[in-house]
Amino acid sequence: MQDNELDHLFHSNLEGFEMEPSAKVWQNVDAELQTGKRRRIVLVPFLSVAASIIVLVTAGILLIPHKTPVAHSQPIKDRIAENNPPAKKAAVVAAIVKPQVTQTAIAANPVNQSNRIRSVKKNIAVRQQPVANTTISQPSPVTPPVQLVIADVPQKHDDNVQNVKIDTAVIAQTIPSVQTIKPATIASNIPAAAPATKPAGKKHRIHSFGDMMNVVIAAVDKRKDKFIEFSDTDDDESTITGVNLGIVALKKQN
Amino acid sequence: MMFLEHTYTTEDLLKRCRAGERKAQELLYKKFASKMMGVCMRYATDRMEAEDMLQNGFIRVFQKLDDFRGDGSFEGWVRRIMVHSSIEYYRKHHKMMQVVEIEESNEPSVNPLAVAKLDAKDLMVLIQQLAPGYRIVFNLYAIEGYSHKEIGGIVGISEGASKSQLSRARGILKEQIAKMERKNYENAG
């Protein structure tokens, strides 16, 4: 038998050979296809879970403060004593002292204002001298700031005490609105300044990269907890204090 | 209903299979299962092996369905996957180059028949009794119609090795057929 005869014998008989496979073949193929499909479906939530974990871990690393975290309930002075190095301590002390300074400044303010008003009104008083005489007898509603003015006056203006007194009375009478407003403003200024630990007007200043980021993010993200928040302290390095991803929101207590 | 199932064209089934329709996958499988079982049988030692090859082959067909661009017939594409799946099966099971010579005493279990009377099943048994290395090369050359160069590429052997394996395979088959003829003649006599 020739080679090609042999090849032809097998080719003609077996090329179109058919045989029914057992039913388990399809069952196995089908099972494999279904598990493959299931694997793809399961993969989607798995990937989102994995992504969430990565985000959380990253956020966790970024949120770990560079300094030892400070307990919120602890008094400020204790915090200074325990946690801050001497250099920082001075800064924080200054921050605490500052309100007192502003307070005294506010307290001193009426004096200056009164002085200013007085110096202005002095001229008026001089011109209205006859009228002023009658006003002296009147019980003037003298308020503490005005008393300060009177106390202050003899030191600076010892040339004419009477004139000054007239002046004050004139001020009291002619500009009652100034007097009534002044104590009110002082009263409102002092209590407002006293309990505040941070100096007023600080929030709006951009000191660091974090502050700048906060401003930019606030412009885009109108939510209470922003997408990402940075510390607004005066530290050189800005730390992330809050992350809000919609589903997951983290915020560091300040 | 069974008649309706057979009216689906391969193109329809492919479209539905690509959309992930399970019923269409089953219909496509049924359409080609018997033919492909016939292919796998030639490469296997027995039916069980052939079914393993068929199963792996069909899983690959469904996984790679998007790769079929419609160049040439779908049946030809599936057949090529089955052949590769069968060769892969031996590669995995390290049976590829195990050349087990059929000894004289190891006679085929077919009934002694004249060559003219040899039917497909008898020839299948003969081919299955070849060592896997010989069987693969003989199948690829004599039935699939590949050249020695192509066989070398598919199987991962040299062109010369393909030629010598084919030669050995033919020799064994001729020997077996002659033995059957002799037995048939003896029985007749």
Higher pLDDT, residue A1 or A51: A51
Q: What is the CA A59 to chain-centroid distance, rounded?
A: 20
Q: Per residue in A183-214, pLDDT tens? A: 444 444 444 444 444 444 445 566 777 778 88
Do A26 and B29 count as a contact with CB atoms less than 8 A apart? yes
Chain A hits for B177, CB-CB cut-off 8 Å, are: 1, 6
Q: For residue B188, what pLDDT is reported?
A: 72
Q: Is A139 on the interface with B (CB under 8 A)?
A: no
Q: Is the pLDDT of residue B175 over 80?
A: yes
Which of B59, B124, B173 is nearest residue A17 as measured by Cβ atoms?
B124
Residues in Cβ contact with B138 at an 8 Å cutoff, skipping those fewer than 6 apart: A10, B127, B130, B165, B166, B169, B170, B173
Do A15 and B37 count as a contact with CB atoms less than 8 A apart? no
Q: For the sheet with A228-230, list strands across it.
A: A228-230, A240-244, A249-251
Q: For residue A6, what pLDDT is reported?
A: 92
Do A10 and B127 count as a contact with CB atoms less than 8 A apart? yes
Q: Per residue in A16-73, pLDDT tens? A: 999 999 999 999 999 999 887 766 666 777 788 888 999 999 888 888 776 655 555 5
Q: Per residue in B31-71, pLDDT tens? A: 999 999 999 999 999 999 999 999 999 999 999 999 998 88
Q: Look over chain B and give the mean of its residue pLDDT values, rounded to a whole number.
A: 85
Phi and psi torsions of A214, nearest 5°: -60, -40
Quote the minimal CA–CA distance from A29 to chain B in Å: 6
Longest dimension (CA), chain A: 154
Q: Look over chain A and give the mean of its residue pLDDT values, rounded to a whole number.
A: 63
Q: Is the pLDDT of residue A133 over 80?
A: no
- CA-CA distance, B146 to B165, in Å (whole number)? 14
Q: Is A21 on the interface with B (CB under 8 A)?
A: yes
ipTM of the complex: 0.84
Confidence of residue A148 (pLDDT cuts 50, 70, 90): very low
In this prediction, residues A164-180 reach a mean pLDDT of 47
pLDDT more than 90, % of chain B? 66
Residues in Cβ contact with A87 at an 8 Å cutoff, skipping those fewer than 6 apart: none
Quote the minimal CA–CA distance from A208 to chain B in Å: 55
Q: Are strands A228-230 and A240-244 parallel, antiparallel or unpaired?
A: antiparallel
- CA-CA distance, B148 to A139, in Å (whole number)? 129
Checking B111-120 for CB contacts under 8 A at 24+ apart, the result is B112/B180, B112/B181, B112/B182, B112/B183, B112/B184, B112/B186, B112/B187, B113/B180, B113/B184, B114/B181, B114/B184, B115/A1, B115/A9, B115/B177, B115/B180, B115/B181, B118/A9, B118/A13, B118/B177, B118/B180, B119/A13, B120/A13, B120/A14, B120/A17
Confidence of residue B150 (pLDDT cuts 50, 70, 90): very high
Q: Is the pLDDT of residue B22 over 60?
A: yes
Quote the minimal CA–CA distance from A241 to chain B in Å: 47
Q: Per residue in B104-146, pLDDT tens? A: 444 444 344 455 578 888 899 999 999 999 999 999 999 999 9
Do B51 and A15 count as a contact with CB atoms less than 8 A apart? no
Q: Is A2 on the interface with B (CB under 8 A)?
A: no
Q: Where are the alpha helices (DSSP H) in A128-243?
A: 129-137, 144-156, 161-174, 176-193, 209-220
Quote the minimal CA–CA distance from A14 to chain B in Å: 6
**Chain B residues with a Cβ under 8 Å from any Cβ in chain A:** 20, 22, 25-26, 29-30, 33-35, 37-39, 41-42, 50-51, 54-55, 58-59, 62-63, 115, 118-120, 123-124, 127, 138, 141-143, 170, 173-174, 177
Chain A hits for B141, CB-CB cut-off 8 Å, are: 7
Do B120 and A13 count as a contact with CB atoms less than 8 A apart? yes
Q: For residue B134, what pLDDT is reported?
A: 95
Which of B51, B120, B141 is nearest residue A17 as measured by Cβ atoms?
B120
A234 touches A198 (CB < 8 A): no
Q: How many CB atoms are closer than 10 A to CB B74? A: 18
Chain A hits for B123, CB-CB cut-off 8 Å, are: 9-10, 13-14
- CA-CA distance, A38 to B11, in Å (whole number)? 26
Residue of A nearest to B171 (CA): A3
In this prediction, residues B11-29 reach a mean pLDDT of 92
Q: Is the pLDDT of residue A112 over 80?
A: no
Q: For residue B154, what pLDDT is reported?
A: 93
Do B37 and A20 count as a contact with CB atoms less than 8 A apart? yes
In this prediction, residues B149-168 reach a mean pLDDT of 95
Do B25 and A30 count as a contact with CB atoms less than 8 A apart? yes
pTM for the whole structure: 0.50
Q: For residue B84, what pLDDT is reported?
A: 95
